[in-house]
Amino acid sequence: MTIAGFKDFGAGLLHRKQAWRWLLPVLLVLLVLSILLWLPWQVQQMEVSERQEQLIADTLWVEQAIRFQLSRNEENFRQVGTEIASGTISPDKLRARTLLLLKNSSEIRRVMWLDSSDTIVASSDLRANTQPRLSDASAQASATARKLKSPQYSQPFSNAGAGAAGGPELMLMDCYLPIFQNGQYSGSVVLRYALQDILDAMVPWWFAQDNEIALTSNDDAVVVKRAAGGIGRGVYMHRRALDLPGAALYLRTNSVKNAPTLLPNLLVGSIILLSLGLIWSLWALWRDINRRLAAEGALREQVAFRTAMENSLVTGLRARDLKGRISYVNPAFCQMVGLSADQLVNKLPPMPYWAPEAIEDYEERFAQVLAGTVQRHGFEIMFQRANGERFPVLIYESPLLDDSGRQTGWMGSILDISDRKKVEELNRQQQEKLQSSARLATMGELASTLAHELNQPLAAISSYTAGAINLMQSGVVDAALLKPALEKANAQVQRAGLIIRSVHEFVKRREPTREPVSLQNLIDSVMPLIELQAQQSLVAIQLSIAPGLPEVLADRVMLEQVLLNLTRNAVEAMQQAPSGRRILRIAVALDSVPFEAASATANVVVSVIDQGHGIAPEVAENLFSPFFSTKAEGMGIGLKICRTTLEFHGGTLHYANNPQGGTIFRFALPPYLPQLSE
C-alpha cells in the first residue's frame, strides 16, 4: 500500500471515530435496557443454583448419616454373630443383648437368629416360635449373603408378605449377616428394618421441614416418604443412591420452596448505573478528541515504520490491480530485475522482466492469476534482468483485499532461487557420484568371481584354437572338422564379451536418462552379473515374469543397480542356509492397485525373495538409514541408494518376512503411459 493509501486509511479511521462518539450514548441506553432484562434473570439463576447446591449438600449429608447408622448396626450385630458361631451366647442371652442394642436403634423392628435352614432360633420380639414366611426378596437376600459370605440387604417388601398378623401395612427390608463356623454356613443374624422408621429416625427434623424425603426404587417409584413440611414443589430436587449391597434404594429430596422472586431494588440500581454510564461517556468523548490527535501522529510513525520494513525485505513484492497493471514494487524486486520503480509501476503486460522465449508461458500464468486459479503453493518461472541475464524465481500469488474485504488486485511474493537451484544440482551430482561408487564397490566384490567366470570361456577358446592348429599342422584341413571347433570358440568369445559388456555398462559414468524400459530385457541384461553372485554361494535362481507387462519410464542402469543390490543381499543372506534352501526367486507381476485413479493399469512390482536368516526387529528400524550396515565390511548405503533411486522414478521399496523363512523385498514402479507423458 502506498503513502497516499495510508493517508486515506487514516482519514477513514478518523471518520469512524467521530461516528462512534455520537453512537456511544445510544449504545449505553441499549446496555441499560439489556441489564434491566438480564440482571433479574441472572440473580434468580444464581439463587436457584445456590439453593440447588445446598440441597445436594444436605442430601449427601443425610445419605451419609443413614449409611453410617446402618453400618454401625451391621458392626454391632456382626459381633453378635461371632459369639453365636463360637457358641458363647444362648437364645435367652441373645434376646436380652438385642433388646439392649435396640434401645439406640429404633429403626430396627425385629432381630432374628436363623439356623442354616432359615428356621428361627431366637427373636427380639419374644416370638421365637412364630415362623414367618420369608418373602421372595428376603429369601433372595439370604441366598446371596450365604453365597458371597457378606452382609446383604433385601429389596423392600410389604409386611403382608412377611407373615404379619394385623397392624398397619409397612414396607420392610431385611439385612442378613451370615454366620460361618469352620468355613461352613451355620445360620444368619437378620435385622428387619421398617423403611418409614429409617426416614423418621435418621432424617433431621430441620431437613424434613424444608423438604419432602422419599425412598424410591430404580424406576423412581416411591416406596416410603416423609413430608413433614408439605409436598415438594418440584423446583429443587436431588436423587442419590443409598448404595446398600443387594438393595436398589435411592434417597430423593424435593424442596418445598418455590422459585425465587426478582430483586425489589433492581430498578434503582439500574438507574444509578445508567447515570454513571452517561457521565463516563461524556468524559470519554472529551478524551477521544485528545487521543485522535495522538492517533494521527502514531499513524504517521506506523507508515514510516512499514515503509522502512518493506525496503529492508530481501523478498520481492509486486502488487497488481485486477487488470494486471503494476501498482507497487518494493526495492528488493527492483534490485532483483535491475529496473527502477518508475520503470515498473503502471506497466501492463508484457512486462520488461519477461524473457522473450517464454512469453507464452508468462501469458498463461498471468491468465491463471486473473482467473483466480493460480496455485497457492507457488510456481517456478524464469525472469530476465535488465542486462539480459536469466534467473529462476519462485512466485506466490494471493488476493489483495481492502478494509471492506473487497478484492482490489493481486499481491505477489517473488523469491530468487538461483542459489537453491545450484545446491540442488550439486546434490544431484553428489548422488550420481555416490551411485557410481556403489556400483564400483559392487563390482569390486564380484572381481574374483568375474575372473573365474571369464577364465572358463578363455580356456575353452584356447582349447578349441589349439585343436584347430594341430589339425592344420598335421596336414588335415577339413572344413567339416574345423567348423564345429571354431563355432564353439566363437560362442565362448561372445559369452566373454557379454560378461565384459555388462560390467562396462554397469560401472561407466553417465548422465541419468529416463526412457521406456522393458523389465524382461532389463533382467536379461543384468542376469549374467546376478548369476556370478549366485554361483559363488551355490544359490539356485528361479525367475518368474508375467506375460504382457507394460514398460516403465526409468533409467536402465539405475534400475540394474537396484536389482543387483537386492539380489546380492539375498545371496549373502543364504550363505549359511542349508543347500536345499538356497533358492533365490525373482518375480515380476502387476500390482492390484492402479497407479492412476482414471486408469485400469496397475503398478509393476518386482519381488526378490530369499530363504535366508531374515531381518531382526532391531535391525529393521534402521534398515534404510544411511551408513547403517550389519556387515563387517559394508558401507551401509546400498538399501538407501535403492530407495532413493526408486523414489526418483516415482516408485516405492518395502520389505516383508517370507512365510517360508527369509525376506521378501518388493519395489513397485508406475507403468509408462504414453498418453500421460504427452
pLDDT tens string 305-359:
777 776 767 788 888 888 888 888 888 888 888 888 888 888 888 888 888 887 7
Most confident by average pLDDT, 115-119, 192-196, 457-461, 530-534? 192-196
Tens digit of pLDDT for each residue in 537-591?
Answer: 788 888 888 888 888 888 777 787 788 888 888 888 888 888 888 888 999 998 8
| Domain match, 204 and 338 both | no
**Residue 121, all three cell numbers:** 432360633
Q: Can you give the pLDDT at residue 4? A: 47
Q: How confident is the model over 497-520, as a mean pLDDT?
A: 66
**Which of residues 129 and 278 earns the better pLDDT score?**
278
Helix and strand numbers (H, E) in the chain are: 17, 22
**Residue 513, all three cell numbers:** 536418462
Q: How far apart are the first and last CA of the chain?
A: 44
Per-residue pLDDT for 633 more than 50?
Answer: no
Q: Indicate whether 574 belongs to any domain.
A: yes
Distance in angstroms (rounded) separating the CA atoms of residues 242 and 65: 10
| Domain match, 256 and 359 both | no
Q: How confident is the model over 289-294, as a mean pLDDT?
A: 79
| Domain match, 539 and 677 both | yes
Q: How confident is the model over 35-40, as a mean pLDDT?
A: 67
Query: What is the residue range of 358's domain?
Result: 315-416
Strand order in the sheet with 583-594: 540-545, 583-594, 602-609, 663-669, 652-657
Q: Can you give the pLDDT at residue 594? A: 45
| Domain match, 271 and 320 both | no
Per-residue pLDDT for 388 more than 70?
Answer: yes
Mean pLDDT of the chain: 76
Q: Indicate whether 463 belongs to any domain.
A: no
Residue 230, judged by CB atoms within 10 A of its CB (0-12, 13-18, 19+), counts as exposed
| Domain match, 274 and 320 both | no
**Which of residues 245 and 301 earns the better pLDDT score?**
245
Q: Indicate whether 337 belongs to any domain.
A: yes
| Domain match, 358 and 235 both | no
Q: Can you give the pLDDT at residue 662? A: 87
| Domain match, 275 and 319 both | no
Q: Indicate whether 508 belongs to any domain.
A: no
Q: How confident is the model over 31-59, as a mean pLDDT?
A: 77
Overall domain count for the chain: 3
DSSP states of 204-256: -HHHHHHEEEEEE-TT--EEEEE-TT----SSSEEEEE--BTTB--EEEEEE-
Structural contact between residues 224 and 196, judged by C-beta atoms closer than 8 angstroms? yes
| Domain match, 267 and 385 both | no
Per-residue pLDDT for 205 more than 50?
Answer: yes
Q: How confident is the model over 273-302, as a mean pLDDT?
A: 77
- Tell me the pLDDT band of 608, cut-offs 50, 70 and 90: very high
Residue whose C-alpha is closest to residue 412's, from 326, 307, 346: 326
Per-residue pLDDT for 160 more than 60?
Answer: yes
Distance in angstroms (rounded) separating the CA atoms of residues 312 and 523: 58
| Domain match, 259 and 112 both | yes
- Tell me the pLDDT band of 606, cut-offs 50, 70 and 90: very high
- Tell me the pLDDT band of 605, cut-offs 50, 70 and 90: very high
**Which of residues 361 and 11 earns the better pLDDT score?**
361
Per-residue pLDDT for 619 more than 90?
Answer: no
Cα separations (Å) of 264 from 40, 258, 270? 10, 17, 12
| Domain match, 647 and 526 both | yes
Q: Indicate whether 295 belongs to any domain.
A: no
**Which of residues 9 and 376 earns the better pLDDT score?**
376
Per-residue pLDDT for 678 more than 50?
Answer: no
DSSP states of 513-563: --EEE-HHHHHHHHHHHHHHHHHHTT-EEEEEE-TTPPPEEE-HHHHHHHH
Q: Which of 164-168, 269-273, 399-403, 643-647 is least confident?
A: 164-168
| Domain match, 87 and 138 both | yes
- Tell me the pLDDT band of 246, cut-offs 50, 70 and 90: confident
Q: Indicate whether 11 belongs to any domain.
A: no
Per-residue pLDDT for 36 more than 70?
Answer: no
User: Which CATH number fits the domain that encloses residue 131?
Assistant: 3.30.450.20
Q: Can you give the pLDDT at residue 153? A: 92
Q: Can you give the pLDDT at residue 6? A: 47
Cα separations (Å) of 166 from 108, 127, 157, 169? 19, 15, 16, 8
Most confident by average pLDDT, 78-87, 147-156, 317-326, 393-402? 147-156
Per-residue pLDDT for 500 more than 70?
Answer: no
Q: Can you give the pLDDT at residue 85? A: 81
- Tell me the pLDDT band of 464, cut-offs 50, 70 and 90: low
Q: How confident is the model over 242-266, as a mean pLDDT?
A: 78
User: Which CATH number fits the domain that encloses residue 551?
Assistant: 3.30.565.10
Tens digit of pLDDT for each residue in 518-542?
Answer: 888 888 877 877 887 787 778 888 8
